[in-house]
Amino acid sequence: METIAVYPGSFDPLTNGHIDLVERGLKIFDKVVIVTLNNRAKKPLFAVEERLTMIRDCFKGMDSVEVDAFDGLVVDYARKRNANAILRGMRAVSDFENEFQMAMFNRRLNRDVQTVFLMTGMRWIFTSSSGIKEVASFGGDVSGMVPPSIEKKLKEKFHKAYSKG
């Protein structure tokens, strides 16, 4: 039977670190379903539809990657998809507490789905969507941290900041 991992996140926007994690997840699972969910603690820059379009564009032609959005609990989405696992990336120690808490909540809510953590690749240990947005908002160079198509979208969003020179 096909093994499925649900990879939840805000993906506001998707970064090269996220892409690396999906690629590595595919070495363990037959399919990775990237699902954008609402993190109530964050105010998104990109609307869900924009994020979906941007993510789909990055994984065009890859049948083993699906992209979706869900308004609710990640465990409910995982159940709906008959997923074997929830996939999350862990960067440095600072990610641990939040990830640990989420994994515990998710386990309490649904014991049938396991959270699997992969350590973020060293190249991406410092990248985060929020850091990238901050740099981009001041017109800084984020190339190499996000795919070129997403760099373009960030430039469009922060057009004023970039055009100030």
Please report how close the Cβ of residue 161 comes to ligand PNS at its closest, in angstroms: 23
Work out how close the CB of 132 gets to ligand PNS at its nearest, in angstroms, rounded to a whole number: 12
Tokens of residue 102, six digits: 């989420």
Distance CA 160, CA 156 (A): 9
Question: Going by DSSP bridges, is the β-strand pair 65-69/31-36 parallel, antiparallel, or unpaired?
Answer: parallel
Q: Which of 96, 100, 105, 126 binds ligand PNS (CB under 6 A)?
A: 105
* CA gap 29, 37 in Å, rounded: 21
Minimum separation from the CB atom of position 165 to ligand PNS (A): 32
Among 54, 74, 113, 142, binds ligand PNS (CB under 6 A): 74
Q: Does 73 bind ligand PNS (CB under 6 A)?
A: yes
Q: How many CA atoms lie within 13 A of 121 on its CB side?
A: 14
Structure tokens at 40: 């109530």
The binding site for ligand PNS (CB under 6 A) comprises: 8-10, 37, 39, 42, 73-74, 102, 105-106
